[in-house]
Structure 1
């Protein structure tokens, strides 16, 4: 399914920048992945016996290696260090504080490592920038599933009338935290470039989640009107819902704008019915609010049109009418569909050492309109020697001594 390989552009925005990553799981690694795709040299430092997420599911059915770890760490350099030893800690601090305009950038989610705090690092390099990712802003641990449960989203998700919470599968707050970390780091770098000053940015997953729902007005709504009830697959505040086709497929149809609503009414041949409904119910279906209030009636009127057609017929007619819609697919079906046009798809394939060919993705940011192809993740610890030589200037015999003393691991 791969398109012809696109060489890495030499003018990526962050080329030359070096970021030290000391994080695991989703938020920190996903943010640093984005920095790497934009050209930064991301040096990922992990404990010598492996990070906590190195075997996290999903794993390859061929080799048992983690597809999760391999995918989130594409294009980074991996350094394995004994973080319990003073000598190992000194190596990490030296990497974090090494001089130069493109260094002194740290992203971490560590707890209980006083030697890696901003105060300790800034004492060695005053212009250092550190983004510290937390669960809660008081230092307590949290993950996406616990935060999402706590802010009330699972109570709004799921079938109408259900009393059970429904978790979402995608760790949305983790991913958003990663992108917020990137924004903070680049803003601090802009400030340092102008003033020479360093920065410490603390970012809590729970705060990102609360800020996210607050920004959509959900918290204000809850205070004013109480908790929002479940609406199943109906789009809240407008018209959008799923329909079944005659061949047992399902499609999601949305009408946010007046034009989208009129296109949907026209293609389904329901104009006369809805004009009568507007008069009888004293509503104006050109308004989102009225379409939402009448959502069950609208869906009942339109359901027979979808039920009388196959998904291919629905596809042809809705596309021709410029209706906003999509077909429900499984993830494997989605990948197969994207494979039909690999040149225009963000999805591609890479050869991942230790696993083989795996489905991956390019950077979603197209530089000059062009894709940037991903690079594979490193084998754990494979870049230890190269980073110590390139960044810290250690000689071969010094690196060999570190291996002999068990301070570092990787390619000897």
Structure 2
């Protein structure tokens, strides 16, 4: 079976989440991904937990399938030589070391470009490789705080809140995939590679989308609206008789339908609520009326009513409920797999559904150095040379 990125080799010198998430997606698409760590394993997520299964971290599992593992001491000259030999036969290098680290190793873009002018070099850092913050360490939580994301998440009572996952890492990993694939596509025309300079800070700020645009247009600093929408009403959570749900009314026609569903069609013709700008202006009054109506019946009742009327609706589900969701089951969003150490594991599947070149989970998240011998012998090292490298703790 042909894969979308079959024949593309990626050297993944990253750890934790943004970089590994990017390289996992590339691996899912068929790229040959080599995960490079220090001897013994240096990806911090291998030790993040609990939970662990037979000593294998759930956090590490989430972002490292479809890769082979090579351990190399990048501080040693012989270790750097290994990377350079691999670069000569590779298409992409991804790293997330602090600015200046790859230069100290002699593995920066300018040095590697001389070995392979076709190489695409993706740098992922907290703040980028230019500007006054370039040397600062960047962690998702710090970036969420600095980028404005926390200032608009939560409500006035809760104070600033972070998103429940490391969202700036995920966003940056996705941008890295986009940039790398764009550079690969451009290389088919120019024949040469290029450098990609990505930062978590830039990626987080880009995600402000309409909230950022609202400020740039109005000059008004946005309030924390909790589960309300800044520009659309009603577009929020509501309590029901037995739980909570989300109603997302995107236009006036849907609002008219909602008014009929709750048995109050007159609301749709009320001048205070007739159009979305009216509803935003009179948010509190309208939400109070709707909330009173929704508490009269169960979540399942409103689910059936809203779906029948074409009103965007969703129950607020807990993580354990997702595994029972027939839509996710139909979309194969939970993937069972055998791991040589952890045994039977479950992974969240890929959302990428390609008709001719589907995603395929070929490799379990590897143990440190699991494929070192195979990779080195594949680029010309003899069995004796590999033994000497291991004896000298280069690998």
**Which residue does the alignment assign to 2:232?**
238
TM-score by length of 2: 0.90
Pick the aligned partner of 1:270 from 244, 264, 269.
264
Superposition pairs of residues 47-86 of structure 1, within 5 angstroms: 47-86=38-77
C-alpha displacement of 1:19: 0.6
Instruction: Give the Cα separation in 2 of the matches to 1:73 and 1:17.
Output: 17
Q: Which residues of structure 1 form unaligned runs of 5+?
A: 1-9
Pick the aligned partner of 2:148 from 149, 152, 158.
152
C-alpha displacement of 1:360: 1.3
1:33 maps to 2:29: no
**Which residue does the alignment assign to 1:363?**
350
Matched residue of 1:349: which SS? strand
CA RMSD of aligned residues (A): 2.2
Instruction: Give the Cα separation in 1 of the matches to 2:331 and 2:343.
Output: 24
Superposition pairs of residues 140-219 of structure 1, within 5 angstroms: 140-159=136-155, 161-162=156-157, 164-213=159-208, 215-216=209-210, 218=212
Instruction: Give the Cα separation in 1 of the matches to 2:375 and 2:118.
Output: 22
- CA 1:320 to 1:27, structure 2 compared with 1: closer, same or farther past 3 Å? same
TM-score by length of 1: 0.87
Instruction: Give the Cα separation in 1 of the matches to 2:332 and 2:388.
Output: 47
1:226 maps to 2:217: no
Superposition pairs of residues 250-269 of structure 1, within 5 angstroms: 250-269=244-263
Q: Which residues of structure 2 form unaligned runs of 5+?
A: 129-133
Instruction: Give the Cα separation in 2 of the matches to 1:96 and 1:140.
Output: 28
Instruction: Give the Cα separation in 2 of the matches to 1:349 and 1:187.
Output: 32
CA contact (8 A) 1:60 1:355 kept: no
Instruction: Give the Cα separation in 2 of the matches to 1:128 and 1:181.
Output: 15
C-alpha displacement of 1:55: 2.7
Pick the aligned partner of 1:113 from 84, 102, 106.
102
1:385 maps to 2:385: no
1:204-236: CA deviation from partner (whole Å, max 9, x where unpaired): 1111222332x4351561573321112222122
Instruction: Give the Cα separation in 1 of the matches to 2:123 and 2:345.
Output: 31
C-alpha displacement of 1:384: 0.7
- Which segments of structure 1 move beyond 4 Å, counting only runs of 4 or more? none
Superposition pairs of residues 244-393 of structure 1, within 5 angstroms: 244-247=239-242, 249-275=243-269, 277-278=270-271, 283=272, 285=274, 287-338=275-326, 342-368=329-355, 372-375=359-362, 376-390=364-378, 392-393=379-380
1:296-335: CA deviation from partner (whole Å, max 9, x where unpaired): 2222222233212122222222222221011112111222
**Which residue does the alignment assign to 2:131?**
none
How many residues align structurally? 384
Matched residue of 1:394: which SS? coil
CA contact (8 A) 1:65 1:354 kept: yes
